[in-house]
Amino acid sequence: MTNHRIGIAFCYHESHTFSPVKTDIRAFEQECLVEGDDILSTFRGTRTEVGGFIDVLEQNGAAVVPLVCAAAIPSGTVTASAYETIEERMLAAIGRAQPLDGILLALHGAMVVEGLADPEGRLLSRIRAIVGADLPIATTLDLHANVTRQMVEQTPMQFGFKTYPHVDMYEQGVRAASLLLHSLAAKQVYHASFIKLPMMPPSINMLTQEGPMHDLVELARAAEEREGIVNVSVFGGFPYSDIPDVGASILVIAADKPAGDRVARFLADKMWDQRERFLLSLPGIQEAVDEALRWEGDRPIVLADVSDNPLSGGTGDTTGLLSELLSRRVRNALFGALYDPETLDACRRAGVGAELTLRLGGKHSPEFGAPVEVPAKVIRLSDGRFRNQGPMNTGLLVDTNGAAHIRVEGIDLLITGRALSANDPELFRHIGIEPTEKRILALKVKNHFRAAFEPLVGRIINVDAPGLASNKLRNFLYRHIPRPIWPIDDWKGDLPWRKGGHTA
């Protein structure tokens, strides 16, 4: 048992710098912006990083000191004023909470703020400035974090997710909290071995059940069995952040620094050598719909509109796939969720049972497809609040800011007041739509939804439609990433870690 006072906090955003939708303070307020005891009521008992922090601290008799939790759904660059507000509240809460014995901080690692390319690095260094160089700080990071040297310099104790779909958030929260308490009890010092690779793979083939990321995570877990190695994280990075620190990296936490360096170089070599495996060629819209129409399985087929996945920064309202489904007169299909507050308002004004003409989608990124005008019937309305039942963020309350179930010919559509990925079937079930009764599920998703949907469906096709989260990275006009970087450029010459001296 311990009587240590440990601060817990959460600052989470994945910033798609090409998105036209800036992330302001309202976006955090809509998703999560809580302080003090509200953090405990929001996260206690959830399978999240903060849920993991709370469980470990309470089981060990530590005093949980809730600070600030701020998260917004992935979208465009965070506004300077939103970030300043959150940072000020975080630093003020830490100041008031002193003396603390340690801090647990759940980060994403791919946040970008207007005029600030490495906000997590700055946040950690400003926390350091308050608590001093010796206070243990442990973090959790998303597998898609663009980890920076500035971040790693603030603390070696950083734990990346090892799953995609991310179903080990809780486990990594537990590991971070456990190591933090252990470092206090044993007065153990840890070291970071960090390598940034000159590559930014698209995330489409970063799944951890199979493929290159699966193999790398297996090697990471095996390396954790070695003497002196505590934890090994493999970060795929987030390629839609146009920043100098974009891309993949390896971070090893070690009690034995030379052993950590060796593991980091080994994993960096393996990741680099397998880079071509991260690339996939996907069918276009017509080809994918052809395939879906030929589907004869007992369970539904999914057309995953991966280029408009809101959790990759997609606007959630592109219409390319929807237009094709309508023009092909597809029957018994479900499309969603389409982010369209105007349509939602129109449905609410018209009421359940009303028939009306709607202009669907195409409002936030019309360059990827114009709104689609259709006759529709309002089937049901809801407040859009439900709890996740699937394996990801289980138990967490989700609020879509209202929802409408509408029917357009043979297609049922879910319209929401916020952009969000269809990662949990409860998104549809809460309003009375049963996805397993449909033949075709056209979903605004990428990979994460597999955790809950794979057991329900017969086949999944990733569709190459136009959208902000397209896996064709060469189509984006990068200005700030380091060059050369794979797969935009070929890489020639020595790799930094093979020259030695490049691990932190």
| CB-nearer residue toward Zn ion: 28 or 161 | 161
* Contact indicator for 451, 383 with CB cutoff of 8 Å: no
| CB-nearer residue toward Zn ion: 392 or 414 | 392
* Contact indicator for 254, 190 with CB cutoff of 8 Å: yes
* Contact indicator for 259, 227 with CB cutoff of 8 Å: yes
Q: Which residue in the shown chain puts its C-beta closest to Zn ion?
A: 144
Q: What is the DSSP code (8-state) at residue 503?
A: -
* b/e code 222-253 from CB counts within 10 Å (16+ = b): ebeeeeebbbbbbbbbbbbbbbebbbbbbbbb
Tracing tokens 């105007």 back to the chain, one arrives at 342
Look at residues 426, 421, 447, 448 and name the one whose alpha carbon lies nearest to residue 436. Answer: 426
Site for Zn ion in 141-170 (CB under 5 A): 142, 144
Provide the minimum distance between the beta carbon of 419 and Zn ion in the complex, in angstroms, as a whole number: 16
| CB-nearer residue toward Zn ion: 144 or 196 | 144
| CB-nearer residue toward Zn ion: 137 or 311 | 311
| CB-nearer residue toward Zn ion: 143 or 321 | 143
267: enclosing H helix or E strand: helix 257-273
Question: Which residues, 6 or more positions from 189, have their beta carbon under 8 angstroms from its beta carbon?
Answer: 183, 255
Is position 446 an interface residue for Zn ion (rule: CB under 5 A)? no
Residue 355 to residue 378: CA distance in whole angstroms? 7
Provide the minimum distance between the beta carbon of 110 and Zn ion in the complex, in angstroms, as a whole number: 8
| CB-nearer residue toward Zn ion: 42 or 163 | 163
Site for Zn ion in 452-471 (CB under 5 A): none
> In sequence order, what E strands does 21-78 have?
32-35, 63-71
| CB-nearer residue toward Zn ion: 162 or 430 | 162
Residue 155 to residue 152: CA distance in whole angstroms? 6
| CB-nearer residue toward Zn ion: 439 or 446 | 446
Provide the minimum distance between the beta carbon of 393 and Zn ion in the complex, in angstroms, as a whole number: 12
Residue 225 to residue 39: CA distance in whole angstroms? 34
Q: How many residues bind Zn ion (CB under 5 A)?
A: 2
Residue 57 to residue 55: CA distance in whole angstroms? 6
Provide the minimum distance between the beta carbon of 448 and Zn ion in the complex, in angstroms, as a whole number: 8
Site for Zn ion in 363-402 (CB under 5 A): none
| CB-nearer residue toward Zn ion: 232 or 344 | 232
Site string for Zn ion, 189-208 (x = CB under 5 A): --------------------
Residue 164 to residue 167: CA distance in whole angstroms? 7
Provide the minimum distance between the beta carbon of 161 and Zn ion in the complex, in angstroms, as a whole number: 7
Site for Zn ion in 65-84 (CB under 5 A): none
Give the chain's length.
504
Provide the minimum distance between the beta carbon of 56 and Zn ion in the complex, in angstroms, as a whole number: 23
Provide the minimum distance between the beta carbon of 109 and Zn ion in the complex, in angstroms, as a whole number: 9
Provide the minimum distance between the beta carbon of 471 and Zn ion in the complex, in angstroms, as a whole number: 15
φ/ψ of residue 123, rounded to 5: -60, -45
Residue 469 to residue 473: CA distance in whole angstroms? 9
| Number of neighbouring beta carbons within 10 Å of residue 275 | 17
Site for Zn ion in 114-143 (CB under 5 A): 142
Provide the minimum distance between the beta carbon of 311 and Zn ion in the complex, in angstroms, as a whole number: 7
Residues that bind Zn ion (CB under 5 A): 142, 144
